[in-house]
Amino acid sequence: MSNVPLGNEKKANVDISRRKFLVGTAGLAAVAGLPAVAVNAAAANPPTSQAKTTTEKWKGDTVTTKDGIQIYYKDWGSGQPIVFSHGWPLSADDWDPQMLFFLSKGYRVIATDRRGHGRSSQTGDGHDMDHYADDLKAVTDHLNLKDAIHVGHSTGGGQVVHYLGRHGDKNVAKAAIISAVPPLMVKTPANPLGLPKSVFDDLQAQLAANRAKFYYDLPAGPFYGFNRPGVKTIEPLIWNWWRQGMMGGAKAGYDGIVAFSQTDFTEDLKKISVPVLVMHSEDDQIVPYQASGPLSAKLLKNGTLKTYKDLPHGMITTHADVINADLLAFFKS
């Protein structure tokens, strides 16, 4: 039988319910490592619109381009800025090993999701190097970056090269392109070492037929070199690649194949005056070595070629310790 005086049952029930709620939130706070007082204060003071804005900003930031596309970016730390441009068909997340490493070394690290990829707008058009370069400029202008270092992997290497060739290197200190697509991937009379156009047509056909399967087969095979004898497959890497690819739009992935394979970066490379480190592996099964890294290094005014023997195309992930150390040495040189 209740000891609560008659007439006070309702008030007592409210008090008991409130105590249960506070105890529950205190327990959640303990699990999350948050002070119970903070949770209780939050319960007593519902979030304001200003608090909501702060939370949304914490989740990530975007820049709106001239054609109305939202470009998502991460921006961590302070110090000299390093801007990372990812490969096809991935996202800023592909740079996690580099972002954390260089953040710990005192750099400001920034990475974007290219249009149609990751958390950026899934637009149906503009999936070409001119737009990619202009989108990168929109981010660097928005953040007012000075003395920046630009790093691009694969298609992102082409984006960096075209950005520097198209918009100049006034506020750029250095650049590095890793397993990058320049000067030109497709075979032409002037580029006999390139791959036949039919190779890229087949990639588009596989994407259109079954994008989910295609985005599994690539990282499970040649991208990370898991198809090489003696190389142990790392299943979580495959699924992380797949996750990033499937976050983006199918149209961006489809059109992006043309952008990275048929864009000729020769004139862009010739215009760049800042020091550029060209990092490429002889065993790259996605962007063949002989038609890319050595040729790009020769076309650059101030290029340095760093050759690896048995590393895969996705070496920024599988061999992050090696790549990070070589990048750091170049940045400090």
Percentage of the chain beyond pLDDT 90 is 82
Q: Are residues 38 and 65 in the same domain?
A: no
**Tell me: the pLDDT tens digits for 279-300?**
999 999 999 999 999 999 999 9
Angle at 134 between CA 117 and CA 208, to 5 degrees: 30
Catalytic residue, from 85, 91, 120, 154: name it: 154
- Residue ranges in 143-288 assigned as alpha helix (H): 155-167, 197-209, 211-218, 235-247, 250-262, 266-271
Is residue 280 annotated as part of the catalytic site, yes or no?
A: no
The confidence band for 313, taking pLDDT boundaries of 50, 70 and 90, is: very high
Which structure tokens are listed for 81?
A: 């800025």
Residue 55 is predicted with a pLDDT of: 37
pTM above 0.75, yes or no: yes
Is residue 284 annotated as part of the catalytic site, yes or no?
A: yes
Average pLDDT of the chain is 87
**Residues contacting residue 224 through CB under 8 Å, at least 6 positions apart:** 234, 237, 238, 241, 312, 313, 314, 317, 318
Residue 2 is predicted with a pLDDT of: 40
**Tell me: the pLDDT tens digits for 199-222?**
999 999 999 999 999 999 999 999
Residue 322 is predicted with a pLDDT of: 98
The mean pLDDT of 78-96, rounded to a whole number, is 98
Q: Are residues 36 and 128 in the same domain?
A: no
Catalytic residue, from 131, 284, 296, 319: name it: 284
The mean pLDDT of 134-157, rounded to a whole number, is 98
- CATH code of 158's domain: 3.40.50.1820
How many domains does the chain fold into?
A: 2
Q: Can you give the residue range of the structural domain that contains 23?
A: 9-46
| pLDDT at position 57 over 60 | no
The confidence band for 197, taking pLDDT boundaries of 50, 70 and 90, is: very high
Q: Are residues 42 and 181 in the same domain?
A: no
| pLDDT at position 236 over 70 | yes
Catalytic residue, from 131, 153, 313, 319: name it: 313
Residue 24 is predicted with a pLDDT of: 40
Q: Are residues 171 and 89 in the same domain?
A: yes
Is residue 131 annotated as part of the catalytic site, yes or no?
A: no
Which structure tokens are listed for 294?
A: 């050595």
Sign (positive or negative) of CA dihedral 244, 245, 250, 256: positive
Alpha carbon 211 to its chain centroid, in Å, reads 20
Q: Is residue 3 part of a domain?
A: no
Q: Are residues 179 and 304 in the same domain?
A: yes
The mean pLDDT of 237-251, rounded to a whole number, is 98
